[in-house]
Structures are given as structure tokens and as C-alpha cells.
Structure 1
């Protein structure tokens, strides 16, 4: 009973796999990242599971120099996790809003570190897929050269304040490398959407990007529709995506396509 911490990812996944797969939409980030860590081990990553009555109730993991990622827990469970991690180099937490706040408060009580709210995202799950109206000119395309895909992803990274992709090493270490990419094309590519492989019946659409010069013409909706349709055709039962809660335009777009908000997440940095 209680939290169990380990650096053994294989043992961790053997014990927690059923729990992670039980709610694939809410556990989208854990499923995709843990699959990457399973195949490309990252030394120093700590994994945790909460067990009660012989059942896994929650999981967490902390990669070196990254925030702790935590599934939903009650405040008292967040407090016991903070006690287990006290003395470890925890520099932040990302979780559903209430869980993130509970852990941040518990960590501050124990360590004095001040939690500073950072990234906020909203998770949406696809209900009934609805084509955009009107559908813009063009068609989906998947056959771009690798160098062109890297260029688009690098442009997206810079647009959202991340470092550009400078070489194959930075590509391999990025969140883009394991994804498939679909482009909306007219005479040339005008919008891009990535998607994760199917894991536990879940596909996450990520990222969606339209260069500024092509915005306002419906291309983002068209490419998101195409990728969502392909995910369903591949057998996905949970198709999800994240948005910035403050971006009224993108939230309205995805709602029109059939996506329904299911949770909000907050990231805190500890100072």
C-alpha cells in the first residue's frame, strides 16, 4: 500500500500497464512518453505507482530536469507522494488542475519551494467526427521528403517558443520523431498535423500547424479532419488532442469537428 518508486521501467510497466490502458484518453501523455522511454531508456528517470488494496490507483514519473508528470490523485495522496520524493530534485509538476495544485501545495509545505504556474492545456476527445464546412480546396498528402517534414516541425517549434531542430540528433531526441505527419496541399503544402501511433486504442493529434501566411483559410480544420479520419480508420477508439484554453479560435474549431473537452492540465515550476 502507498507509493512505490523505481528506475526499472520494465517492471513499472508490467505492474501499471492495465491501469494506463484503462483510461487511454486521460493517460495519453503517459502512454506515448512511456513507450518512448521503454524503447529509448533515459537514465535517471524515476517511476512511481500508488497501490491500494492490491490495485494501481495512480502513476507518476520524473525525467531528469523535467517536471513530474502525475495522474489524478486526491490531496492526501499528493501529500504522501511529496513525502516520498522529499530530497529528490523535483523542479515542477504537470497534472490535471486539482492534482497539480495539490502536489504543488504539498511540495511547498515540505520544501519551501514556490510553485509558479506555467503551461496550461485542455484535453479534448473526439466524439462524432464532423467534416469542416466549407471544406477548403486541396487534399491530404503523406509523401513529403523527410527533410521537408523536419523543416516544418522546426518552424512549428520556433513558432511556439521551442528550440529549432538543427540536425538529425535533435530530431531523434524531439517529440516529433515517433509521429506520422499529414499535410494539406493545394499547389504546395499549406498545413500540417502529426499523430501518434495507436496505443491502447488511442491516437493523439499533435501538433497542428499552419504557417501564418496560410491562416484563415480553413486548412487547419481540413488537415485535422483528415488525420482524425485516418486514426479512426486505423482502429483508434480514443482520438484526442490538446489545446491552449485561451485560444478561442482553435477551441471553437475543434469543437466544430466533434472534439469534446474532458480535462484541463496545469504545469507548475518550483522556484
Structure 2
């Protein structure tokens, strides 16, 4: 079993691009991160250079596993067999890497963490347990809440900066040196963020990533506490999902926190169906 690890995005895409595109659901995070690195440069997520890897069961075999890392974020496994997850732990340990966490599909990430524990003594601990969903025919909320769906615009900028900061804090997402203003500006410019508006004011927002390899992923989704339990999140996600389909997405995906039964129920009612469970594991 062979992992190839590189700092070159071009090499990664040349070797693993077909594999990434062939499995856009399981590789959704890697596809969007690689796209962001292409758009914004290799330092888009931090000062340290990213690294990329692909796995072959034999040197002459097709690619059958992928990961990338954009420090300070942990390695993210895409569609990867369990044995390759363990082998990646061996490969990174042999390079002298010090890792605080790992994320990806549950089976492969657990295999990585178990091997890392044997190699280093680190005790894996679950940080987040997620489920990846795929849209299987959109069923908008009926009746829809009062209001309307629209693209986010520059007049929403300050409110969306506030909401993004609140979302990150509430979700417990690791966002070192978050530049909320830059993120909001970019998402508004690329027409990838949406709001539900009630009584002339935004009350909820959702992102829909640009279509890559026929795939778009919904997120983040946030409704401030004072506007919750009115159906706004379901309505804005339905609108963002329809927008992604209209933009050419054959696969529309989203992640939910398994600790939040409300969001899991809402998205299933909209027509989302489970693909796989994913996990973020701290390696303390």
C-alpha cells in the first residue's frame, strides 16, 4: 500500500483529480478546499503550506484514497478505505508530523486515529459526529414561512459578518484567525450565499458552494436565536438547494451535526438522504 504526499496542488489534481470527481459526495470537502486554494492561493487557510496525498493499493494501481491538510486545520480524509486510513497514520508519523486531530469518513478516520494512538500514545476523543446527506428530490416546506428567498447582497454585509462569527462560536468550529469580513465579501461576490427575508429584514442565511465536479454543498446555515422555530432555516436551505440545482449541480450535499436532531429532521423532510457518517477526532 502506497501513499504519495506532496505540497503541489497541481500534482494532486493531476494524480487524483479523476478520483475526486468520480466520488463527489464523499470527496465534497476536498473538492471545495482545493477549489478555494486555486482561487485564493495556497495560503488561503493559513501561513503554512498545505499538503495533499493519494493512495494506491499497489504502485501500478488506480488511486483509491485521498487526503489533504491546510494547517492549522487537521488532515481531512476523502473517500478512503479503512486500511489506507491506518496506512496514512504510518506515513505521516514516519515524516515526523505532530497532529492534533484528524477528520473524514468515520471508518477511515477511526482507523487513522487507532493507528496514531499505537504509534504515539495519543488518546483519540470525538470532537464532532456528523452525517453527510445528499439531496434526493427537493420537497420545499409547505406551508412556507412568511417571507421570501433571495441572494445575499452588499447591504447584508455587516449582518452576515455578525452571523458568521456567531455561527462559528455556536458550532464550535475551529476557525483560527477567522477573517469573517473577507469570507462574507467573497461569498457575496460569487453569489454563493443566500438569505430568507421576513418583513423586509434577513432572518436566516445559507451558503451553497460553487458547483465543482457537478457538486455543490450547502453550508453554513444559521438563524439567530430570536428568529428560530419559525421554519426559516428549512426555507432558506430549500432555496439554496434549488439555486444549486439551477446552477448545474447534479449532487447537492450538506453536513449535519448528529447531536442536533432538529436539523437532521428538517433536512430529511426537504428530501436529503444519508450518504455516510463523518467524524472529527482530537488526538490528545
Trace 1:86-97 onto structure 2 (pairs within 5 A): 86=93, 87-97=96-106
Q: Is 1:4 aligned to 2:14, yes or no?
A: no
Q: Which residue of 2 aligns with 1:233?
A: 246
Quick one: which of 156, 160, 169 aligns to 1:149?
Answer: 160
The count of corresponding residues between Structure 1 and Structure 2 is 269
The residue aligned with 1:181 is 193
In 2: Cα distance, 1:122 partner to 1:270 partner: 21
Consecutive unaligned residues of structure 2, counting only runs of 5 or more, are none
> Are the structure 2 counterparts of residues 265 and 191 from structure 1 closer, same or farther at C-alpha, using a change threshold of 3 Å?
same
CA contact (8 A) 1:4 1:49 kept: yes
Per the alignment, residue 119 of structure 1 pairs with: 128
> Once the two structures are superposed, what CA deviation does each residue of 1:108-129 show, in whole Å capped at 9, x if it has no partner?
1112222121111111000010
Provide the TM-score with structure 2 as the length reference: 0.87
Aligned counterpart for 2:281 among listed residues 240, 256, 268:
268
- Is 1:63 aligned to residue 70 of structure 2? yes
> Judging changes above 3 Å, is the alpha-carbon distance between structure 1 residues 108 and 149 closer, same or farther for their aligned structure 2 residues?
same
Aligned residue for 1:136, secondary structure, equals: coil
Cα displacement (A) at 1:133: 1.6
Query: Does the residue aligned with 1:56 lie in a helix, a strand or coil?
Result: coil
CA distance in 1, matches of 2:185, 2:105: 24
1:166: Cα distance to partner?
9.4
Contact 1:150-1:165 at 8 Å conserved across structures: no
Tell me the residue number matched to 1:74: 81
SS of equivalent to 2:162: helix
* Structure 1 alignment gaps of length 5 or more: none
**Pairs within 5 Å for 1:1-271:** 2-39=2-39, 40-42=41-43, 43-51=48-56, 52=58, 53-86=60-93, 87-144=96-153, 145=155, 146-161=157-172, 169-172=179-182, 177-178=186-187, 180-187=192-199, 188-271=201-284
Mapped to 1, the partners of 2:14 and 2:85 lie a distance apart of 23
Change (3 A) 1:159 1:246: closer
Between 220-229 and 79-88, the greater mean CA deviation after superposition: 79-88
Residue 203 of structure 1, CA deviation: 0.8
TM-aligned CA deviation for residue 230 of structure 1: 0.9
Q: d(CA) in 1 for partners of 2:180 and 2:198?
A: 30
